[in-house]
Amino acid sequence: MTVVVENTIDVTEPLVSATRRAFEANEIKEGIFRNCDRKSLRNLAVVDRQWSEAALDVLWYEVTALEDLLRPLGPVTSTNREIQTVIVHTVTPPSRPNRFSTGSTTTTTSSSVTEITYELSPSPTHRHWLRFQRHYAPRVRILRFKVIDTRKTRSLVNLLLQMRSFEALLPNLRVIHWDTLCNIGLAEPMFAFAHDVVQELNLTDIQEHCPDKSITCEAILTRMPKLTKLVLEILPDEKYIPSLISIMEGLTSLQSLTISPFSNMSEIVSCLSGLQKLKELHILSGNRFINVHSPFSLRNSNSSYFSVLERITLSCAYQIASGFFCCEVPSLIAIRVVTSIREQPSDVQNILRTISGSCPRVTQISLEIRHNTIDLSALRAPLSPESALTLEVLSSILQRSSICSFSIQHPLPFDVGLGEVETIASSWPRLKSLSLACDPYLVQQPTTSYKLGVDAFLPFVRHCPDIEELGLFIDARSSAIPSNEVLDALPSPFTKLRILSVGTSVIRHEEAIAQFLSFICTQGCIIKQGVSWFEQYGQHLGESARKWMEVNRLLRNLLAVRIWYERKLVLEMRRLQANLCDQTK
């Protein structure tokens, strides 16, 4: 019996090579696109249709220049035109001319002004516009633009508006980052791209206030009514407040707000406290440091007070920040307060006590001093030992065992001993990040105390298994290293620690310190040294930084050797077990 097998292979169809199939995998293409610059992406866009679609999605996901947006319609050209202006000056004689008057006199002056016009050359056809509308505009998700030349920006936007249909210019646009307004109210070029689907607006303008800017702010509500995130980096002039309040009351979907700190924020905060979806509030200036100077005087305190707020940043003194937490904030998780003055321990203790009492769900606290904003001459003025922070300052917040991140900056080192560090570590077993004034700048004044040595890290080995970042100010000048008995009694070394911050800690005996740290750290951990809140520091701090960098280098090598020996030990154990199994057989 003969069996006939039908050949189902189409010999006319070319076989796709394994290499080509591999490059058509989405994961490989995404990896290639992530490592390509814009010029390379343009080259990939002409490989074939499949690669073209993927490359264009990456190229047009974010647009940072109006010229790039107009490129599919043609090149932008500029033309200079001289415009002559003639000014006529007429001098009228007095109302009662005498017999010697000769009547009115006229003089003329002329001047030339250069006018620059922008246009697309050659002029795009309807086919060009349809191509832009179908293949390019729908891909744009983020528009990031800074206005440098106001006249050019308006001209380029007008070119788009002259050709647009009734649909939105960029229908799938979700995020707008716009830097500097043109001060023309409702005619702002930014609004040419605004529509109902935009979810995030980041507006920066540090020019002086003018009425047209208030009109622009109010128009945000009608042009982008479904915003969920709003960043307003504007000059904090009190004249903006009515416009800002009208925006906040109308943006019912707003979940995140960043706003420059006005000297008096009471009216704005009272308005924000009733928003039902606001989860993040950041009262902080990006370009300049400006503080809230007036205490928070809230209205309608009987209503719900930030019922869903989870994260807050305040730029003010600790005493003023304490007023923000006058009522319970039930959902608040992360708190960051940035000050510009040298806070007293009583102010630090008061704000931590207030936070502990009004924020039942808080897990992250950061008390900072703004970078490079304090007068360095004032910084050098010595402080009394009573100005140092002690364990008593933390007593109220130590009762919150749920704290997983705590950071504080202070001019003086923390005045705590090893036993008190043990108390801190045991009180916060869920810690993932801790920094206790690890970079004080007053480390050379006579009253500065040095109570902690390298053994201050050990309590966190015992009590905080999940810690990833740890910052302490220690005195590593002593050669006293914990004994082997102490190290052997530890449950295990740090398993998740990535960053060990020593700030401005003093040090000697780099080799001994690196050897000790190799017993409690794991591979991948790095030593972070230096100051983090101003750039100028003395020669002593620079010398310490150099030594800690040497410790970091030695530690990296020691950990690599330890990992190698541990692997060899595992292999040897397996070999011995295999030999035992063979002998038993």
d(CA 299, CA 317): 21
pLDDT at 421: 94
pLDDT computed for residue 2 by the predictor: 47
**pLDDT recorded at residue 429:** 95
What's the rounded Cα separation, in Å, for the pair 174 and 432?
34
Q: Other CB atoms closer than 10 Å to residue 327's CB: what's the count? A: 15
251 is written with which tokens? 């943006």
* φ/ψ of residue 129, rounded to 5: -65, -40
What is the Cβ-side half-sphere exposure of residue 360, based on CA atoms within 13 angstroms? 6
pLDDT at 176: 96
Structure tokens at 221: 């509500």
Give the model confidence (pLDDT) of 347-366 as tens digits.
999 999 999 999 999 999 99
Residues of the chain with pLDDT under 70: 1-26, 81-106, 108, 110-115, 209, 286-303, 371-382, 442-450, 479, 533-541, 585
- Predicted pLDDT of residue 383: 72
pLDDT, residue 444, reads 59
Contact 489, 458 (CB under 8 A): no
End-to-end CA distance of the chain: 55
pLDDT at residue number 7: 42
Tokens of 66: 């109006």
CA-closest candidate to residue 114, choices 81, 84, 86, 85 = 81
The predicted pLDDT at position 493 comes to: 87
pLDDT digits (tens, 9 = 90+) for 268-315: 888 898 899 999 999 987 655 555 666 666 655 546 789 999 999 998
Share in percent of the chain as helix, strand, coil (round to 5): 40, 20, 45
